[in-house]
Amino acid sequence: MCRENFSERIEKIAAAHPAGIILREKDLTEDEYERLAVKTLEICRKHGAPCILHGFQSVAAKLDCSSLHLPLNTLRSLSDEEKSRFSTLGASCHSVEDAIEAEKLGCTYITAGHIYDTDCKKGLPGRGTEFLKSVCDSVSIPVYAIGGICPDNIAEIRSAGASGACVMSGAMVCDDVQKYLNELGESK
């Protein structure tokens, strides 16, 4: 899906100063993910871009990364001590109940989705902006919309109360990352 070497694309994204980069690579083993995380953290630090590791709590702890994003099921299994290692803690939420639980479990932000139809969830209709508004209204932590977000619909996302949006495909294939993020309003 990426038009170039993954690290080269991450370099361009980090240089555009996004609000954050969530390194989600669910098809890698823990060792493979750790090697990728080392490279990605180095690139992000160089550009001052926040990097949030995803799914591998032990890798984040080993690499002294203070930002972690987890599926809600995994978050439930962490002790308070394990969670306290992370100043930024996020979870993927797919209902209002998920969002409320994630906040109670100590999340500092959540992602909510998927909002619009997307190739990543082919055949599964998006939950829509009314769903997003309900999630945003149910918690006091920042909510980031995910799923089918693009410059053409980012205003709807913000109108629903989201703090921002997570994008993947667009950022990985666009010709000009800085321009793309500016169009989304997601560049610092």
Instruction: Express each pLDDT in 41-70 by its tens digit.
Output: 999 999 999 999 999 999 999 999 999 999
Whole-number percent of the chain with pLDDT over 90: 88
Which residue's entry shows tokens 């001052």? 48
Structure tokens belonging to residue 14: 């980090």
> pLDDT tens digits for 100-114?
999 999 999 999 999
Would you say how long the chain is, in residues? 188
Give the rounded distance of the alpha carbon of 117 from its chain centre. 18
Structure tokens belonging to residue 56: 């591998």
Residues designated as active site:
114
Give φ, ψ of 59 to 5 degrees: -65, -45
pTM, rounded to two decimals: 0.93
